[in-house]
Structure 1
């Protein structure tokens, strides 16, 4: 590991000079969903404006004491989050001197509130990647270069289960981009992602509990694909399609229930709820319309009709 990766904050430390590069994912803050332990997987963060300094605080599996022992992260003596192994937290503060620290098995003394914190002069417009030190390292955080930190952050999940008590922490605002004249935008063809109904659900079922392992994996992969391919996401429409077996009313209801389930799961995967709507096409738009034979033959023939389409 390069020497800079082992550099720790001192009391006080000279300004850190790693600047953020433009990213492709929205900031995920700790403490926004109490009761939920982990949120979305890490994706590169973008820049913040000069009025803020951004911190990506993370903990890898090597940082001590087993999976059940949280590392309490403090900002200016107040609790920001409690990082479990392979968890991260992204937050912003105003530029200036701040005290940072992380304690593994902090209770019952909660030393991070009063002692041993490490100071750093944080500059506006900068992003700092800070790693929890190993148990027994006197709370000293480790500052890591961006490229090395983001390699370590791959697969880590946002820590969500602790509400931030740190008054210095604020929501991160993306860096302002100067407005320039631009050509009139041309219409863009809508993107569509089609999920096979039989991959997602048991036959005739529509609930989260009715979804199999392959279905959960397909939804998670789709959410990652949507975030990767659509950096300026405007709207997402989830459309449930049913087959031609049974009544039109039953098909309409099943399509709606399946679309709602997929919508909820995409939200759980980090797609903004306010941008996703769900609707049903029932059996009005079949891919295959001439199925016959026994019931089993009809079920097999109608397989392409049972699908959920996600439009962007």
Structure 2
């Protein structure tokens, strides 16, 4: 299974970009015990009441990652570590509708209820409801979504903010971004079960050398996390220049080309709530 790479609601701080961390664990049962949400996390419940239409299916995306696909009379619950997410409702079936993202505030220690309502053209839109209405609706909804999202979050580091050019030694200034990642991981210790760290380089230089450099940089990040007390199993991988994200960077080696290719030089950290089955 390939990791989802599209992500929304990113925060850029010294080369650090991260989606709001969330996990796809379902809290089973229509009663939705409040004790299932800790003081450092919130929860979002998205539900669809019985409407008789099985031709069109709303797919629930949080920060660009699917967490549920609802038939009539189903709900999906997702734990969230963070204070806001971007929620998008897409439609599959007779009508294909991408849906628009909307920012949703999450309250730690509480459940946020979102009702999915159908509009005339078989597409769906989210409606935030109060706790009383949400709890009442869930009394009549007995089934959870059959999708269990194993993806938690993707963190992207600009390697120019972590390493000097052509080096795999972390710069002192890298600690700001990496320490924030450590805090995010430790804020949801029960959610993150596995970490995958992938290094990437630009296309300048020898491919074999770039492969080794990208692996060394991924290992440097993993070592830093471990030294700061992150005991979660980690895999490291170097992909060299095989997966560029830039376009139209042309010309010979120069400072201008180096600047253009900057987005290719990155370390991506995938935080998972299940084993790595990539």
Same fold by TM-score, threshold 0.5 exceeded?
no
Bigger proportion of residues as strand: 2
Question: Which of 1 and 2 has greater Rg?
Answer: 1
TM-score (norm 2): 0.43
